[in-house]
Amino acid sequence: MEHLQRGSKKLLNAWAFFDWANSVYTLTIASSIFPIFYSALFISQTDKTVEAFGMIFKSTALITYVTAFTFLVVSVTSPILSGIADYVGNKKNFMKFFCYVGAAGCIGLYWFSIENIHLSLLFYFMGLIGYWGSLVFYNSYLPDIAFPEQQDSISAKGFSMGYIGSVILLLLNLFMVMSQETGAEKMQMMRYSFVTVGLWWIVFSQYTFYILPKGVSNGHKVTKAVVFNGLKELKLVWLQLKQNLRLKRYLVAFFVFSMAVQTIMLVAVYFGEEEIAWGSSDAKTQGLIVSILVIQLVAVLGAFLTSRASSKFGNIQTLIVINFIWMSLCVYAYFMQTPIQFYIAASLVGLVMGGIQSLSRSTYSKFLPDTEDTTSYFSFYDVAEKIGIVIGMVIFATIDQITGSMRNAILFLFVFFLVGIFLLFRVPKESK
């Protein structure tokens, strides 16, 4: 196979195609069918509790805790793994490993049940850690394969391909579920849809794995010292960040606003299920699915418009405007009651969701100093995002628990966007 040069169209497209492969996880498992499936497992219970790890949990609290724990694991292990990957020069093998662990977890969700809750949660954990773990190495490829002027557009293209691919599979999954008449048959089709996600993920990632370079192989072997070397790499990045004011200030701003963005995306389905007056159970299921599809389809347009806006007005200015829109959405969500209001919110979320993710990633990539050690820098970015998610979810759950309303929790996220905007204004225009 020929060695593809940095910036080549074939190499860029192969990288972006991984989004097509793995984004089905976020849509079917994280956002739509699994939350509906999980809620349906407890539909016959009045208190909706489950015994796990020697304690009694509210069903939604248990899955939230497992999710937060997974993000903690990813944030702790990613700097170690990325350090190892840089040292031995095989980041693609790590990317493959997490891809296959995640896909196996999705397939394992076929056997998810309350009776076997610990094994079931292990499969859920595998899917989540596989997706986020593979992203550490996927993101770190961006400055290796694309020149700075290409990074905004190819990052947006990756997100767009991910949205399109995941919507295609979700429509197939929805047809499988909705074509059934009884609740038991629909549940069975949901189980089959988890298997299709795992298979899709494995099959479509092969092209990316075939084209992407392995990394700079240097024959080093992993030893105990190398594990600690990963943490040293992270410390080195932190010290270098102190000397790079623009990158440091941007990363702090990203940490704050990403905390709110990721939390909203993780709790949106549960918010819609609990706070919106749908009328009936069937209307609720269909309404939530329609909302998720609206978000995904509009997100393709959002990623494209954001890429165009950033090339015209600059990355930081565009991110400031997007944060203003997110801030307004928090206030709007506090007051909304009806399905049509929820659909409007879903459309706006879609418009700014894809844009803020792709632009955040490419802005960080463009601000990096000239270095070959991109994996460690992106693991630092990843750690900031994951710790932010854990903090955001804990704050959201605590406010929800104390006040008894998810509305109060979503309104509080307004503060994070406000602080994020202030911090973005403090990012210097030049690197020096």
Here the tokens at position 22 are 């793995």
pLDDT tens readout for residues 287-325: 888 888 788 778 778 888 888 888 888 888 899 999 999
pLDDT tier for residue 385 given thresholds of 50, 70 and 90: confident
349 CB-near residues (< 8 Å, 6+ apart):
264, 265, 268, 295, 329
Assess contact for 388 and 423: CB atoms under 8 A: no
pLDDT: is 271 or 332 the higher one?
A: 332
* Residue of 362 and 20 predicted with greater confidence: 20
CATH 2.120.10.30 is the classification of domain 9-211+225-425: no
CA-to-CA distance for 375 and 382, rounded, in angstroms? 10
Alpha carbons within 13 A on the beta-carbon side of 208: 26
Phi and psi angles of residue 80, each rounded to the nearest 5 degrees, phi first: -65, -50
Residue 321 has a pLDDT of 92
* Beta bridge partner(s), residue 51: 56
CB 365 within 8 A of CB 151: yes
Instruction: Using alpha carbons, list the distances in angstroms from residue 131 to 63, 212, 252, 414.
Output: 17, 18, 24, 28
Confidence class of residue 241 from pLDDT cuts 50, 70 and 90?
Answer: confident
Instruction: Name the average pLDDT for the chain.
Output: 83
Residue 103 or 182, more confident: 103
Other beta carbons less than 10 A from residue 176's beta carbon: 18
Q: For 293-296, which contacts have Cβ atoms below 8 Å and span 24 or more sequence positions?
A: 293/167, 293/170, 293/171, 294/343, 294/346, 294/347, 294/350, 295/268, 295/346, 295/347, 295/349, 295/350, 295/353, 296/27, 296/163, 296/166, 296/167, 296/170, 296/350
DSSP state of 6: T
Band of pLDDT at residue 87, cut at 50, 70 and 90: low
How large is the average pLDDT for residues 320-344?
91
Mean pLDDT, range 231-237, rounded to an integer: 77
Cα distances (angstroms) measured from residue 46 to each of 35, 42, 43, 49, 335:
18, 8, 8, 9, 28
| DSSP assignment string, 25-88 | IIIIIIISHHHHHHHHHTTT-SS-EEEETTEEEEHHHHHHHHHHHHHHHHHHHHHHHHHHHHHH
Question: What whole-number percentage of the chain has pLDDT above 90?
Answer: 21
> What is the pLDDT, as a whole number, of residue 1?
44
Residues 29-40: tens digit of each pLDDT: 887 888 888 877
Q: Over the stretch 162-220, which tens digit does the pLDDT of each residue have?
A: 878 888 998 898 888 878 877 788 889 999 999 999 999 999 999 888 888 776 545 55
* pLDDT, mean of residues 6-34: 84
pLDDT at residue 41 is higher than 50: yes
Share of the chain above pLDDT 70, in %: 91
Query: What's the mean pLDDT in 80-104?
Result: 81
255: which 2 tokens? Answer: 């940490």
8 Å CB contact between 44 and 223 = no
Q: Where does the pLDDT of residue 404 fall: very low under 50, low under 70, confident under 90, or very high at 90 and above?
A: low
Q: Are 82 and 375 in contact (CB under 8 A)?
A: yes
Calpha distance 260→302 (Å, rounded): 18
Inform me whether the pLDDT recorded for 148 exceeds 80.
Answer: no
Measured distance between the N- and C-terminal CA atoms of the chain, rounded to whole angstroms: 41
pLDDT value of position 417: 93
Nearest alpha carbon to residue 211 among 4, 70, 374: 4
